[in-house]
Amino acid sequence: MPVSLNNAADQYDAIVIGSGLGGLTTANRLAWCGHKVLLLEFHHQLGGLATWFKRRGHIFDISLHGFPYGMVKTCKKYWNQEIMNSIVQLKDIVFDNPQFSLTTSFDREDFTSILREKFEVPQEVIDRFFSTVAGMNFYDDQTMTTRELFEEFFPGRSDIHRLLMEPITYANGSTLDDPAITYGIVFSNFMNRGVFTFEGGTDTLISMMVAELEKNGVTICTRAKVDRIVIEDGRVCGVEVNGRTISAPSVISNSGITNTIFNLAGRQSFSDEFMARAEAIRVNNSSCQVYIGIREGAAIEYKGDLLFTSTAPEFSSEELLDSHTCSKTFSVYYPKTRPGHDRYTIVASMNSRYEDWTGLERSDYEQKKEELIERTLVDLERYFPGVRDKIDWLEAATPVTFNRYTLHTRGTSFGTKFEGLDVSRSIFKEVPGLFHVGSVGIIMSGWLGAINYGVIVANDVDAYLRSREIH
């Protein structure tokens, strides 16, 4: 269990700021390597956006969670067998919009069949498309956009563009005008074997991770807001947290990259060239959620695990971000999702802009949330007729909510656009001992991206700490 900051030591080898999956993984790997690690979390719960809350007997994951099969290997290698064994497939992914309605397992074999038989795409074109996106990597040409990629293989087919793009937009906030590699890498990961989630929910996952962290000797403190990263003579020396200074030769920020640079470290710590790149970082969009609890003893019919729904005529990134969007996903949590917890919950997710929600008068803000809830229920009743009579809890979260609880710049749910990755990866070259891990560059977002990035950064920190021992 987390301990009071009063019980933390005065000095550590590494201090991790923030407990998103990237921060948790970095802390775990460094402790496994033998380093003395302190993990500081501003909130009272760990997990960042991979967290949960409880209301009237319900347990709600705070947002849509689905990840590729690669999580199985990653969790086995970098966490433990128990966590790996709790990963299960979401077998029924539903698309329903004016252009098509279908159910898929969301893997390459099923998508190939759908593209060939329902959308009448020649097999040769399908094979070339899959081969192209599977071969994409970070070092590829970044000038081609996803829109151009789709037009090359499926010219004028807005229905196919929607099938291919809509779920990825919900997964990482990318648009048709982002670099094609940010689409191809993520899409290929999902096409490997489909969409997976964590049986037992994020509450079970985080409790397993905490047990592993404590087994490896990590000191965990919650309600510990870091005010400043201490940098002296161009090097990291520690952090100021809750009025106390704790020393460490390395600090890993799992806060957003912009928050890390501008607020925690301060622009005076970096070169003009680096700050020019940092100021050019575009923060990705955020999201809204509506949490729907079904009263005890009531049930809803099985309609699929994840529903991508819309009444918009065609896919549009702008429409998805509109505060009155008619497009949303429904993550349906049946009792099987949390074995032993015999309740049904539904989490509706919509992409959103921070500026549409911030600065409102309190009464206007609350009214706008009520309108969001009502539109969501209207859409939900198309799939679960009469569901209103079974609901005993309704609550909405907005980008303002995410900003409040995570401190993410503009409440972003998806980190930064592509240019954020290079800044994140080079920050330790500017300030020795300062590292960043988090959702940057789109491809490092989501559960799998966050954990894998945590491993990469942990390796960098370990190498840095060992180089200090040599010298």
Model confidence pLDDT, tens digit, residues 176-189: 998 898 888 888 88
E-state strands within 110-258: 195-198, 219-221, 226-232, 235-241, 244-247, 250-253
Which pLDDT belongs to residue 331?
A: 94
In contact, 182 and 146? CB cutoff 8 Å: yes
Which pLDDT belongs to residue 315?
A: 92
- Of 52-56, 72-76, 186-190, 269-273, the poorest mean pLDDT is in 186-190
Stretch 347-372: mean pLDDT: 95
Which pLDDT belongs to residue 471?
A: 58
Residue among 31, 32, 39, 34 at smallest CA distance from 9? 39
Over residues 395-415, the pLDDT tens digits come to 999 999 999 988 888 888 888
Instruction: Give the type of residue at 395.
Output: E
Structure tokens at 193: 């074997």
Split at pLDDT 50, 70, 90, the class of 23 is: very high
User: Which class is 54-89+196-200+283-406 in CATH?
Assistant: alpha beta
Which pLDDT belongs to residue 33?
A: 97
In this structure, the strands spanning 52-55 and 58-61 are: antiparallel
User: By CB neighbour count within 10 A (0-12 exposed, 13-18 middle, 19+ buried), where does 277 fall?
Assistant: middle
Split at pLDDT 50, 70, 90, the class of 219 is: very high
Stretch 303-331: mean pLDDT: 94
Does CATH number 3.50.50.60 belong to domain 5-48+203-282+413-470? yes
Over residues 272-309, the pLDDT tens digits come to 999 999 999 998 889 999 999 999 999 999 999 999 99
- Residues 33 and 30: their CA atoms lie apart, in Å, by 5
Q: Which residues contact 33 (CB under 8 A, 6 or more apart)?
A: 458, 462
- Residues 355 and 334: their CA atoms lie apart, in Å, by 34
- Residues 243 and 258: their CA atoms lie apart, in Å, by 23
Stretch 382-398: mean pLDDT: 97
Structure tokens at 282: 């575009």
Over residues 410-449, the pLDDT tens digits come to 888 888 888 898 999 999 999 999 999 988 865 656 888 8
Residue among 374, 329, 450, 416 at smallest CA distance from 24? 450
- Residues 167 and 78: their CA atoms lie apart, in Å, by 27
User: What b/e sequence results for 211-236 when a residue is b if at least 16 CB atoms lie within 10 Å of its CB, and e otherwise?
Assistant: ebbeebebbbbbebebeebbbeeeeb
Domain boundaries, the chain: 5-48+203-282+413-470, 54-89+196-200+283-406, 107-189
Which pLDDT belongs to residue 447?
A: 86
Which pLDDT belongs to residue 446?
A: 81
Split at pLDDT 50, 70, 90, the class of 136 is: confident
pLDDT at 81 over 60: yes
Beta bridge partners of 149: none
Stretch 218-247: mean pLDDT: 97
Which pLDDT belongs to residue 443?
A: 60
User: By CB neighbour count within 10 A (0-12 exposed, 13-18 middle, 19+ buried), where does 54 fall?
Assistant: exposed
Split at pLDDT 50, 70, 90, the class of 339 is: confident
Stretch 251-256: mean pLDDT: 95
* Percentage of the chain lying above the pLDDT 90 cut: 76
* Cα first-last separation, the chain: 36
The mean pLDDT of the chain is 93
Which pLDDT belongs to residue 445?
A: 60
- Which residue shows structure tokens 């009025």? 243
Q: Enter the pTM of the model.
A: 0.92
Structure tokens at 14: 């590494």
In contact, 454 and 26? CB cutoff 8 Å: yes
